[in-house]
Chains A and B, each alone.
Chain A
Amino acid sequence: AQTVTQSQPEMSVQEAETVTLSCTYDTSESDYYLFWYKQPPSRQMILVIRQEAYKQQNATENRFSVNFQKAAKSFSLKISDSQLGDAAMYFCAYRPVQGGSEKLVFGKGTKLTVNP
């Protein structure tokens, strides 16, 4: 079974500093997508960044970047120059390209607090 594990239930960072959120996953598939979603107090799920497993280059979106280690099945999210608006729950999610690709498998989330 495919699983996603986020080992940090809570993290905190000072405004303007950098924080890394961890995610590991378990799968026997070779082709898949990985995502980080942000869920602020409004509860809306917002896509932060996406990584295709066949791409060796790590995805980057402005202040957000990932460290994708396929062999280690690790997919961490780095937030640079943290802002107060980054405070939210962050969910790591996995989706295979084939077979069962209708379903996103989510981790339990990491609550990020940004201190002024």
Chain B
Amino acid sequence: NAGVTQTPKFRILKIGQSMTLQCAQDMNHNYMYWYRQDPGMGLKLIYYSVGAGITDKGEVPNGYNVSRSTTEDFPLRLELAAPSQTSVYFCASSYRLAETQYFGPGTRLLVL
């Protein structure tokens, strides 16, 4: 199993550009999550999904959108990138809602 994979590893965006961060898992987990980690801080939940076609907002959803068309994939869309979105983004998945989350390697995003 590859576990949770994320692409790209690093990206520089200009203000106002858009991009999609990709996340995939091969563990047949129903639950998937997107977090962001700002410098010197712990992770904060952006969006999560309890299964294909079902998503919900987390703690810091503004400026982001998600979709979940398959169990395996959970892309995160940034529209109109802003410097405040400079961060490291982590995707995670779990088999059940309250169980251990397994994290991907992260995507570092720099918005200039």
Given contacts A102-B33, A103-B45, A103-B59, contact A47 B98 (CB under 8 A): no
Residue B43 interfacial (CB < 8 Å): yes
Cβ-defined contact, B105 with A91, below 8 A: no
Is A18 close to B, CB under 8 A? no
> Does B88 sit at the interface, judged by CB under 8 A?
yes
Q: A42 at the A/B interface (Cβ < 8 Å)?
A: yes
Interface size class of A (residues with CB under 8 A): 20 to 34
User: B45 touching A102 by the CB < 8 A rule?
Assistant: yes
Among B41, B42, B88, B90, max chain A CB count under 10 A is at B42
**A25 adjacent to chain B (CB < 8 Å):** no
Closest Cβ of chain B: how far from A34's Cβ, in Å? 11
A101 to B94, CA, bound (A): 12
Knowing A102-B48, A104-B45, A109-B42, say if A43 contacts B97 (CB, 8 Å): no
Interface residues of A (CB under 8 A from B): 4, 33, 35, 37, 42-47, 50, 91, 93, 95-98, 101-109
A35-B100, A45-B103 are known; give 6 further A-B pairs, CB within 8 A: A42-B105, A47-B102, A97-B98, A101-B98, A107-B42, A108-B42
List B residues at the A interface (Cβ < 8 Å): 31, 33, 35, 40-45, 48, 50, 56, 58-59, 88, 90, 92, 97-98, 100-106, 108
